[in-house]
Amino acid sequence: MERFRRVSAVVSVSRDIDELFERFFGAEESNAVWEPLVDLFVSEHKVHLMAEVPGVAGSEVHVRVGTRMVQILGIKRPPDKVRRGVSFYESQIPYGGFEKRVSLPFPVNPSSIKVEFKDGVLSLELDRVGGGARIIRIG
């Protein structure tokens, strides 16, 4: 029974975060076909997020940033060869809309965002709010 309560609490918190995000950015129906892979790491004063979006033009990628959430949206269009009505023998590459929502471990300043897009990798750097980590030595 205790395990059920813990799982229920996690689901409830997750639902609360989703609702807060939707209130901040506006509720939208997602038509995402796939999700990019991301790496999230932090330093003392920064939060860094990298997302792999191979084959996607920079003009097709959009980023929304809140104080505790990042949303990456876009579309990956098939190459011209694919658009001409060819028959697939094998299809493993996802095309179409994508979306990735990432909860941030620390609050950030959305206006501090630095964006780089190179070789199919979107890199974001944001300033942590509150001065970063504090290290206290005992003894």
Give residue limits of the domains in the chain. 1-28, 31-128
Interatomic CA distance for residues 70 and 92, integer angstroms? 27
The mean per-residue pLDDT over the stretch 34-63 comes to: 95
CATH topology classification for 31-128: Immunoglobulin-like (2.60.40)
Task: Name the residue with higher pLDDT: 91 or 6.
Answer: 91
According to the model, what pLDDT value does residue 50 have? 98
CA angle 28-98-120, nearest 5°? 140
> pLDDT-based confidence at 34, cuts 50/70/90?
very high
